[in-house]
């Protein structure tokens, strides 16, 4: 089982890189953003509740996100591992997630943190807004999402550094170059695990 978290501000390339990672390492992709958008698309009461947060650039309440995530993990009993895209996003989510994975004896292996400068984030998301149809890709909401990232999600960098799971990747390059750096980090981790298994 290989569990990878991909972490970063909105527009840092989490979704873009996740698609490549899952293909190369045969992982199951869980994007909490996609789970929220799927619920909104169903026009359910829960979807309406979620929409109120997303359209303001705010995080969806932890209990909603965690419930959706847990149900999705449970559907994939045959998964060789997961790429968690956009989750966790708060310290509280990270603590609950650690407990959840402890119960399954499948801890997080690596947290890949993708760093991108603010001007570049704005450029990318403004570019995406032209054809994504995403209600949260508007300039004023993008700013709010970046603020929320800084205040609520950024503390996760030290949370996972303390657990020695964090790898920082410069995401300012071309998509292929960023993926090359991420692959190197994952391969290095897997090689270390192999050596440790041989020694044991
Ligand atoms: P997400 O769906 O995670 O949205 P995101 O942060 O914008 O990332 P995304 O993966 O879509 O974009 P990417 O950086 O790949 O979350 C949306 C909302 O859902 C949140 O604001 C929140 O309200 C809610 N939510 C989700 N998870 C939650 C949680 N755990 N708790 C609470 N609420 C939660 O790409 C952006 C653009 O950049 C694309 O157009 C892409 O083509 C481009 N791009 C990517 N890499 C590039 C590169 N290297 N160079 C140039 N362009 C690049």
Q: What is the pLDDT of residues 138-193, one digit of tens each?
A: 888 999 999 999 999 999 999 999 999 999 999 999 999 999 999 999 999 999 98
pLDDT value at residue 199: 74
The pick from 5, 10, 121 for probing ligand 1's pocket by mutation, whose C-beta has the most ligand atoms within 8 angstroms, reads: 10
**Rounded CA gap, 70 and 88, in Å?**
12
- Give percent of the chain with pLDDT exceeding 90: 88
What is the torsional sign of CA 92, 161, 103, 184? positive
In tens, the pLDDT along 32-62 reads 999 999 999 998 999 999 999 999 999 999 9
Q: 178, 8 in Cβ contact below 8 A? A: no
Q: What residues act catalytically?
A: 14, 89, 128, 134, 145
Pocket-forming residues, ligand 1, beta carbon under 6 Å: 10-16, 31-33, 36, 53-54, 59-60, 65, 86-89, 93, 124-125, 128, 136, 145, 171, 174-175, 178
**Rounded CA gap, 49 and 68, in Å?**
14
What is the torsional sign of CA 130, 131, 137, 138? positive
- C-alpha of residue 160 to centroid of ligand 1, in Å: 20
Q: Which two tokens stand for residue 65?
A: 């996100």
141, with CB counted inside 10 A (0-12, 13-18, 19+), is: buried
The residue whose C-alpha atom lies closest to atom 30 belonging to ligand 1 is 87
- C-alpha of residue 31 to centroid of ligand 1, in Å: 9
pLDDT value at residue 130: 86
Q: Among candidates 116, 112, 113, which has minimal Cα distance to 173?
A: 116
Mean pLDDT for the chain? 95
In tens, the pLDDT along 114-137 reads 999 999 999 999 899 888 888 899
3 state SS of 99: helix
- C-alpha of residue 20 to centroid of ligand 1, in Å: 15
């Amino acid at each position: 089982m290989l569990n990878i978290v991909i972490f970063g501000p909105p527009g840092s390339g989490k979704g873009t890189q996740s698609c490549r990672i899952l293909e190369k390492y045969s992982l199951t992709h869980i994007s909490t953003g996609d789970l929220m958008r799927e619920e909104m698309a169903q026009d359910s009461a829960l979807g309406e509740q979620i929409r109120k947060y997303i359209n303001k650039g705010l995080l969806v309440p932890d209990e909603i996100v965690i419930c959706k995530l847990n149900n999705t993990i449970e559907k994939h009993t045959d998964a060789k591992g997961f790429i968690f895209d956009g989750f966790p996003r708060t310290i509280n989510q990270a603590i609950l997630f650690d407990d959840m994975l402890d119960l399954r004896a499948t801890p997080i292996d690596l947290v890949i943190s993708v760093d991108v400068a603010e001007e570049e984030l704005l450029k990318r998301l403004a570019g995406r807004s032209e054809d994504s149809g995403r209600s949260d890709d508007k300039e004023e909401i993008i700013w709010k999402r970046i603020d929320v990232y800084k205040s609520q999600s950024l503390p996760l960098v030290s949370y996972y550094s303390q657990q020695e799971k964090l790898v920082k990747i410069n995401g300012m390059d071309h998509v292929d170059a960023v993926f090359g750096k991420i692959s190197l980090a994952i391969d290095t981790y897997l090689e270390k695990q192999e050596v440790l298994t041989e020694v044991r």
